[in-house]
Amino acid sequence: MSRFEIYSPEGLRVDGRRWNEIRRFECRINSHPTSSDGSSYVEQGNTKVLCLVQGPMEPALRSQSSTAQGSLIVNVSVTPFATVERNKRPRNDRRIQELSATLTRTFNKAIVLKNYPRSLIQVNLQVLALDGGLLAACTNATTLALMDAGISMYDYISSVTAGIFDGQTPLLDLNTIEENELGFLTVGVIGESEKLALLLMEDRVGMDSLEKVLAIAIAGSHRIRELMDIQVRNYGKHKVAKLANQ
Amino acid sequence: MVLSTTERYYLLECLSGSKVIRADARRVDQFRPVEATCSFLPNSNGSSRVRLPDGSECIASVKAKVVKVESSEVTDLLNVEVDINGQRDDAEAVVSFSSILKESLAQCIPESLLKLTEKYAFELSIDAIVISYPSGISSFYSILTLVSMAVYLALKSTSLPLLTSTTEDAEVEEEPTFSDDWDLAKLLFPKDRLLAPPLLFVLAMVGPNLLLDPSVEELEVAENGLFVGFASNKAGAPIRSISLNSTNNKGLSTNHILDAVSTVDSVGGSVLKALNSIVENSTSEF
Amino acid sequence: MSVISVTGFGHQNVSVDSDSEDDAMGDIEATGFKSSIVTPGERITDDPTWMRGHGTFYLSNQTYSSVAGSISRVSKLLSVIPFHGRYSPETGDHVVGRIVEVSQKRWKVDIGAQHDAILMLGSVNLPGGVLRRKSESDELQMRSFLKEGDLLNAEVQTVSQDGAAFLHTRSLKYGKLRNGVFVRVPSSLIVRAKNHSHDLPGSVSVILGVNGFVWIYRTKVNANTKTENSASINRVSAQLSSSRDYTPGQGSESITRLEEESSWSIYSDQNDEDFPETIKLNITRYRGCILALAHCEIGITGSRLVNAYHASMVYDNIDALVSNQVKEAIGRDIIEAEKMRGK
């Protein structure tokens, strides 16, 4: 395969973005009102993720029931058609299981679980199309769907990826081509703070460039939080207006 | 879904009388309204999303791949997989829906549609994922029609790149090449041909009555059921009887079967028309 | 007549330019708070005198919102009510529920809340007198009163610390449900009111459970005489039980039999025998009207339901109510009619 020009001397990336630009971000809240307690749909570039939350509800198994706090289960399933080449993953795919575990860990801290004793919150994520930023899109979709379900959270968790080109230029919100070529990391930022609820780095990123990459990733996450917040408030206004009708 | 005894009796009485009163106000030959969209997956050749009022939802995708043809069997070029969220891959509904769909598709997709050159053809991978359905349902047949509609829409919206190399390549050592201009792509099922993917319609029997597209509650009290295929603008194979619940089972009479076929015959065309309008007016949004 | 309606997905549009800042400015002066709509992590106030209720958390002298919702202030209690979420029971709520489990001395009831509600054997009226004591044989035959799948309506007696509701059916208006159909709507659409059971035109009654579970049924035939009867029974048994050594079955045989018959009938699984088709059609029409109101996100009340029913009468055939266009037309009718009346 011919090597793409990841970052041109003119400062453009494969899809025409600048180094510090996120991809088109669109989201919807309450996309599945009948079949879930909370739902959302997130598009980050060509990555499309759907999230359905059930609960808080009575756990099916005693083992899921704790009197101290609620339990959280996160399931991720990547559809076989999500990637350009069809790829059916086995249900126990290690990468996907790890992804679920990472999300569970992150949201165990973000949800006010002590408010939900003897209850189960179940998050189901369906990845419909995948073009980089899998964990980031799943994190954002989960944040929105939990909010739609009226579940107490300390703050937004907004997430994006960032990589480093030639050890010099940090690039924000990578697509698949860029992810394959560059070392990158995913962050999940707590609200408007600079604190991270989530950090995942699976490739080499030079220690000297880490600060730059983190800085742009946090800025990108803040932008995504803003876009999600606008959507949530618009939805809220619509709901409040309807309520006024009563 | 468990109904109370009184609900069950009431429902049964309303459905088995001389004037059928369906709980959701439908006529016996009326479908549940559906919401649908297609062509929203950039990585697939065709895609669709269909949802019922009870929240059941199916997302389907069609991906085409160029393969060297070894046999002339259409079934080898069709790969159909149904996935029902939360059900194992070897669950009865998952296995049987996959095979029912594959059989009915193989019957009405002529080989010529997939044949590219003398040596190459398109292999279609059709995936249908049921992302939600009412909890505690005793029969998945309430969503078979939904799944078949999703597959129909995904196939109807499937476009394939235009072949730029020769079709007569029997003697040539050459792989097919395609135009990368998607405006030149052609639909797998051209609009001007009668050829269309098949649909599957489920019918439930209650007393002497036949109910098209039974809801979850209706399946709970139905005495028997069957599904009927609709392809090439007429009802036909596959026709199969299905068991809908474990409590209330009675035999199927010839009249029921003939009635079912004629009902499907009379409504099928309208369903195709309604679905086609979605394909034509699609905004490619999820 | 259309056989099927296939429509696109209705979405609210994503608009990126937000005018929330304008709102925030306007609201500060009126309420002392930034905005009535808040999202998780948003600071609501640094005034420590507020009591913090649901939907908030407290961190270094600041009160923050933990949900996306609107601020509610009741005297000094500050809470945030989420836009959307499961039904959360409150004492006194009239709910409809479905039995999911029968265990020792209690039924578990699905009311669409975070936890299944509990109905204790001691919180129901049992055959043989309102005030008689529950015996071991009652425990053994709990399924003959209420079993899995059965629907009932009840009142929330108390709510436990973790939000589970305890129900009771100790009134003649509560108990097992017969002669009708069930439909579920979002609980946010049911407006809490004094009365949640309504007799409607067309010999149909409805129970609008606060939890969004709705039961539509045939209005009780001779409802008046029946209530009178049971009221007198109550009086009789009250008199009897006031004498200390009263045991069930004691006293005049005829009264006991009367009592038992009427009481057993409250747990009967039989619908009415002579159920006119017209009433069945009306029940279905009302069900369609409720779904039409829900589709338009209009709060559902008894009077609105009657209006919707009348508005639906322009469609002779009830199958018209299946289509979303018709639902929206009914919704518009209701809202416009209310505006005309200056509501």
Establish if C343 touches chain A: CB-CB under 8 angstroms.
no
- Determine whether the interchain pair A150/C116 forms a contact, defined as Cβ–Cβ distance below 8 Å: no
Q: pLDDT, tens digit, for every residue of A196-241?
A: 999 999 888 888 999 999 999 999 999 999 999 999 999 999 988 8
Interface check for C83 against chain A (CB to CB < 8 A): the answer is yes
Residues of B with CB under 8 A from a CB of A: 40-44, 47, 53-57, 59, 61, 63, 65, 81, 83, 85, 89, 125, 127, 129, 131-134, 286
Percent of chain B with pLDDT over 70: 99
Q: Name which of A81, A88, A91 is nearest B43 (Cβ-Cβ).
A: A81
Token pair 């010839």 in the structure block, residue: B254
Contact C67 A37 (CB under 8 A): no
Could you give phi then psi for residue C147, rounded to 5 degrees? -125, 175
Test the B interface: residue of C2, C4, C317 with most B CBs within 10 Å: C4
In angstroms, the CA C207 to CA C215 distance is 5
B78, containing H or E segment = strand B78-84
Rg (CA), chain A: 18
Are the Cβ atoms of A112 and C66 closer than 8 angstroms? Answer: yes
For residue B209, give the 3-state DSSP assignment.
strand
Give the torsion sign (CA, B285, B101, B27, C215): negative
Any CB–CB contact under 8 A between C277 and chain B?
A: yes
Residue B222: DSSP 8-state: -
Under the banding of pLDDT at 50, 70 and 90, the label for residue B1 is low
Class of residue C245 by CB neighbours under 10 A (exposed 0-12, middle 13-18, buried 19+): exposed
pLDDT at A90: 85
Pick the CATH number of C37-82 from 3.10.450.50, 2.40.50.100, 3.40.50.720, 1.10.3720.10: 2.40.50.100
Residue C235's pLDDT band (cuts 50, 70, 90): very low
- Output the pLDDT for position C19: 44
Average pLDDT, stretch A48-64?
A: 92
The pLDDT of residue B74: 76
Question: Which residues are A105's β-sheet partners?
Answer: none
Chain centroid to Cα B162, Å, comes to 27
CA distance C210 to C93: 6
For chain A, positions 117-146, list CB contacts with chain C under 8 A. 117-119
The first and second tokens of residue B185, run together, are 């792509």
Contact check, Cβ <8 Å, C114/A149 = no
* Cβ neighbours of C280 in B, within 8 Å: 14, 21
Distance from C296 to chain B by nearest Cα, in Å? 14
What is residue A111's DSSP assignment?
B
Asked whether the beta carbons of residue C319 and residue B25 sit closer than 8 angstroms, the reply is: yes
Is the pLDDT assigned to residue B72 strictly greater than 80?
Answer: no
Q: What is the pLDDT of residue A70?
A: 94
Q: What is chain C's mean pLDDT, rounded?
A: 83
Beta bridge partner(s), residue A161: A186
A1 and chain C in contact, CB less than 8 A: no
- CA-to-CA separations, A7 to A49, A206, B220, in angstroms, rounded: 27, 18, 60
Nearest to B286 among A36, A41, A52 (CB): A41
Q: Let me know the angle formed at the C-alpha of B48 by B46 and B52, rounded to the nearest 5 degrees.
A: 165
User: How distant, in Å, are the alpha carbons of B93, B108, B197, B264 from that of B230?
Assistant: 21, 10, 9, 7
pLDDT of the residue at A94 = 93
Task: Give domain limits for chain C.
Answer: 37-82, 86-177, 179-221+274-342
**Exposure class string for C286-314: b at 16+ Cβ within 10 A, else e:** bbbbbbbbbbbbbbbbbebbbbbbebbee
With beta carbons under 8 A apart, name residues in chain B contacting A126.
59, 85, 129, 131
For residues B138 and B214, is the Cβ–Cβ distance under 8 A?
no
Element (H, E) at C114: none
DSSP string, B8-29: HHHHHHHHHSSS---TT---TT
Q: Is the pLDDT of residue C225 over 80?
A: no
- Cβ neighbours, 10 Å, residue B62: 27
How confident is residue C33, by pLDDT bands cut at 50, 70 and 90?
low
C-beta atoms of B41 and A48 within 8 A: yes
Q: How far is B195 from chain A (nearest CA, A)?
A: 25
pLDDT value, residue C247: 43
How do beta strands A196-201 and A25-29 pair? unpaired
- Rounded Cα distance between C225 and C221, Å, is 9
| Among the listed residues C110, B86, C40, C57, the one whose alpha carbon sits nearest the alpha carbon of residue A57 | C110
Nearest CA in chain B to C291: B24
Nearest to A50 among B43, B65, B131 (CB): B131
Which chain C residues are closer than 8 Å to B270 by Cβ? 2-4
Segment A141-170 shows an average pLDDT of 96
Phi and psi (nearest 5°) for C291?
A: -70, -30
**Is C114 within 8 Å of A57 when comparing Cβ atoms?**
yes
Q: What is the pLDDT of residues C106-131, one digit of tens each?
A: 999 999 999 999 999 999 988 766 55
Mean pLDDT of the region B226-241: 89
Looking at domain B26-281, does it have CATH number 3.30.230.70?
yes
Which C residues in the span 173-232 are in contact with A, Cβ-Cβ below 8 Å? 186, 188, 191
Other beta carbons less than 10 A from residue A14's beta carbon: 15
User: Alpha carbon of A38 to those of A35, A174, C115: distances in Å?
Assistant: 9, 28, 17
pLDDT tens digits for B49-60? 999 999 999 999
- The answer to whether A86 contacts B57, with C-beta atoms less than 8 Å apart, is no
For residue B167, the 8-state DSSP code is S
Structure tokens that stand for A211 in this block: 């600060």
Chains B, C: CB contacts within 8 A come to: 117
Identical fold at C37-82 and C86-177? yes
| Residue C342 CA from chain centroid, whole number | 28
Domain spans, chain B: 26-281
Query: In this complex, do B270 and C4 lie within 8 Å of one another by their Cβ atoms?
Result: yes
Mind listing the pLDDT tens digit for each residue in C316-333? 999 999 989 999 999 999
- Complete edge-to-edge strand list for the sheet that includes strand A25-29: A25-29, A38-44, A47-57, A120-129, A71-78
Tell me which H or E stretch contains C147: none
Asked whether B184 and B159 are in contact (CB, 8 A), the reply is no
List the structure tokens of B109: 């997709």
Which is the CATH superfamily of the domain at C86-177? Answer: Nucleic acid-binding proteins (2.40.50.140)
Confidence of residue C57 (pLDDT cuts 50, 70, 90): very high
Could you report the per-residue pLDDT of B94-150, keeping only the tens digit for each?
A: 999 999 999 999 988 888 889 888 889 999 999 999 999 998 787 899 999 999 999
Determine, for residues C114 and A56 on separate chains, whether the beta-carbon distance falls below 8 Å: yes
pLDDT of C28 > 90? The answer is no
Is the pLDDT higher at A62 or at C315? Answer: C315
Q: At what angle do helices B144-156 and B254-280 cross, to 10 degrees?
A: 40
Name the E strands within C169-286: 175-176, 180-184, 197-200, 204-208, 213-218
A5 or B214: which carries more pLDDT confidence? Answer: B214
Task: Say what the pLDDT of residue C279 is.
Answer: 96
Superfamily name and number for A25-240 = GHMP Kinase, N-terminal domain (3.30.230.70)
Burial class (CB in 10 A: 0-12, 13-18, 19+), C161: exposed
* pLDDT value of residue C130: 55
- The chains found to touch A (3+ Cβ pairs under 8 angstroms) are B, C
Of B89, B125, B131, the CB nearest to A86: B125
A83 to chain B: which residues are within 8 Å by CB?
43
C8 contact residues in B (CB cutoff 8 A): 35-37, 278, 281-283
C336 phi/psi in degrees, rounded to 5: -65, -40
Beta-carbon contacts of A75 under 8 Å, excluding residues fewer than 6 positions away, are A100, A122, A123, A124, A125
Residue C18 has pLDDT above 50, yes or no: no
Q: CB–CB of B271 and C151 under 8 A?
A: no
Q: Is the pLDDT of residue C242 over 60?
A: no
Chain B residues near any Cβ of chain C (below 8 Å): 2-7, 9-11, 13-14, 17, 19, 21-27, 29-37, 49, 51, 267, 270-271, 274-275, 277-278, 281-283, 285-286
3-state secondary structure of A27: strand
Distance in Å from the first CA to the final CA of chain A: 61
Predicted pLDDT at A3:
60
CB contact (8 A) between residue A149 and residue C162: no
- Rounded to two decimals, the pTM is 0.91
- Return the percentage of chain C with pLDDT > 90, whole number: 60
Residue B6 to residues A26, B12, C177, C178, C272, Cα–Cα distance (Å): 47, 10, 8, 6, 10
The residue ranking higher by pLDDT, C220 or A175, is A175
- Average pLDDT estimate for A120-145: 97
Contact A90, A67 (CB under 8 A): no
Is the CB of C116 less than 8 angstroms away from the CB of A246?
Answer: no
Opening angle at CA B212, ends C326 and B134, nearest 5:
75
